[in-house]
Structure 1
Amino acid sequence: MLTHPLENLDPAQSVKVLPRHLAGPGAVDPRVVWAFPFEEGWPFAQTEAGTAAAFSPRLRLQTTFGPQPDKPGKGTWTINAHRAPFTPPAWRITFDATTPAEMLHDVHSELLDLYLEDRYSAQDRLFQDETAPYEAYAPLLTRGWSHAVKTDGTQTFLTPEGLGGVRHRRFQRAGLAGWGGYPSEPHWTARFSFGTSTTLVAAFTASLISTEPLRRTVQDVPTQTRRALYVATLAGKQQQGNVPVAPPPPAPASGHTR
């Protein structure tokens, strides 16, 4: 009978695991996920129920978190980008609340960098990003992800173990979607609307395939896909000394040339 690497550990044991897309959400804290300079004029508000919102000083960016603990995705993180205040968003990104918090943080950190670059330069990369799409997708192939293209232009990239993916719909408003878990019942889903800065998509895919393990307690790791996890280290108090990170098996050759 097959076992998984967490089977004999205490539910409260802290571990570091890979791959990231199967690690579970981690700590849900809007102030940590957003990492905006709130002391520099970024308004922030949060209700007792956990609903939160933050805005950039000139209202070009609006970020919200709406918890829904009774729904499969447990709520939604949303980024709206506006060319002018109080206008419809030019593009939108949404994440299920079950998305790994570290990946959310990486995307929002890149979002802040883009905003600050635009603020102090003549560029407008929030809406006119010239980053080439291959910069977002080529790293997936170097990590052994498969790649399929349909006649309608839809490109699908799947993880080596088949429990995560990214789908790019070139000619549809939906733009791009990413997920972790079984495609029919994913642990989490991310959606990038058409027009989203490619730099933000690249930040998402880079975080998705990062080999830096994520710290979780055993009880917080989704049970359905634990057999596909690699335990990098035990991270509890009883662990003595430094334990080297055990990388996952080498990624299979993708069959693509660069």
Structure 2
Amino acid sequence: MIWPFPFDQEWTLHQPGEGAAYATSSCLRLWTRFLPDPDTRGTGTWTISANRASFDQTAWQITFDATTPAELLHDVHAVLLDLYLEDRYSGQDHLFEDVIAPHEVCTPLLARGWSHIIKTDGTQTFLEPQSLGSVRHRYATTGSDGPIWRAWDEYPSEPHWQARFSAGAPTTLAAVFTASLISTEPLHRAVQDVPLHTCRHLDVAPAAAKQPPSYPTPVLPPATHAVDRTR
């Protein structure tokens, strides 16, 4: 569910083994991969990279820990595919030229009650009301090569997961990430997949029962005179 790419058409999927996987666009300017950590079970890194020309140097990069919620990963990759297709068929260059302003990434967080801290070091941090997570934006880009956007859960020193958006990464992708981060849509999780330290913050409800299919009421034929027949 992480990669919504059309592998039966123009995208290519590579699975060299040991849990690693690569997906590449037909133009070879866009690729994404998952590399597991062979020494630690359940860990690794998701990476999205883009090049202005095939086999050129990386123009920008986004990384996610393997423990990042799958819904966040899917939403970012879905919009990534949308940008790729829009560029391909419209002649635009949305993968390398921002079409939205940085405040559109932050505004939904503030509207949901996140606090806002601005520092003189060129960064601003948005904190979730219950301290469950943070998003940091580096608005002063001179003299530093760190990520422009960084998000994590719990404490920055020991996060359960974190995401990093390098300079040049489309602000559109950062915006869809924060929108997905604050989504209130219920998630399906097995008990063993829920980090213990988050249990006290959860609203738990039974999974919705699957509704039987609804079929239209058949139209009865017009009544006829009695026919002696057993059903």
Normalising by structure 1, we get a TM-score of: 0.76
1:194 alignment counterpart: 167
2:214 alignment counterpart: none
* CA distance in structure 2 between the partners assigned to 1:135 and 1:128 by the alignment: 15
Q: Matched residue pairs, number?
A: 207
Asked if 1:38 is matched to 2:10, the reply is: no
Structure 2 unaligned regions, length at least 5: 212-231
1:158 alignment counterpart: 127
Higher mean C-alpha displacement, 173-182 vs 79-88: 173-182
SS at 1:216's partner residue? coil
Task: Check the 8 A contact 2:36/2:42 in 1, yes or no.
Answer: no
Task: Check the 8 A contact 2:49/2:60 in 1, yes or no.
Answer: yes
One of 196, 202, 218 as aligned partner of 1:223? 196
Structure 1 segment 67-216 matched on structure 2, within 5 A: 67-68=36-37, 70-71=39-40, 74-170=43-139, 171=141, 172-173=144-145, 174-216=147-189
Render the CA deviation track for 1:11-37: whole Å, top value 9, x for unaligned: xxxxxxxxxxxxxxxxxxxxx201101
SS at 1:115's partner residue? helix
Instruction: Considering Cα pairs closer than 8 Å and 6+ residues apart, tell me whether 1 or 2 has the greater RCO.
Output: 1
The alignment-based identity, stated in percent, is 61
Task: Check the 8 A contact 1:73/1:187 in 2, yes or no.
Answer: no
* CA distance in structure 2 between the partners assigned to 1:72 and 1:209 by the alignment: 28
Identify if the C-alpha distance between structure 1 residues 132 and 48 changes in structure 2 by more than 3 Å, giving closer, same or farther.
Answer: same
2:215 alignment counterpart: none
* CA distance in structure 2 between the partners assigned to 1:241 and 1:63 by the alignment: 34
Shift of 1:241: 8.0
Structure 1 unaligned regions, length at least 5: 1-31, 243-258
1:234 alignment counterpart: 206
SS at 2:196's partner residue? coil
* CA distance in structure 1 between the partners assigned to 2:50 and 2:19 by the alignment: 22
1:60 alignment counterpart: 29
Higher-Rg structure is 2
Shift of 1:225: 2.3
SS at 1:120's partner residue? helix
Task: Check the 8 A contact 1:80/1:93 in 2, yes or no.
Answer: yes
Identify if the C-alpha distance between structure 1 residues 203 and 193 changes in structure 2 by more than 3 Å, giving closer, same or farther.
Answer: same
* CA distance in structure 2 between the partners assigned to 1:61 and 1:33 by the alignment: 16
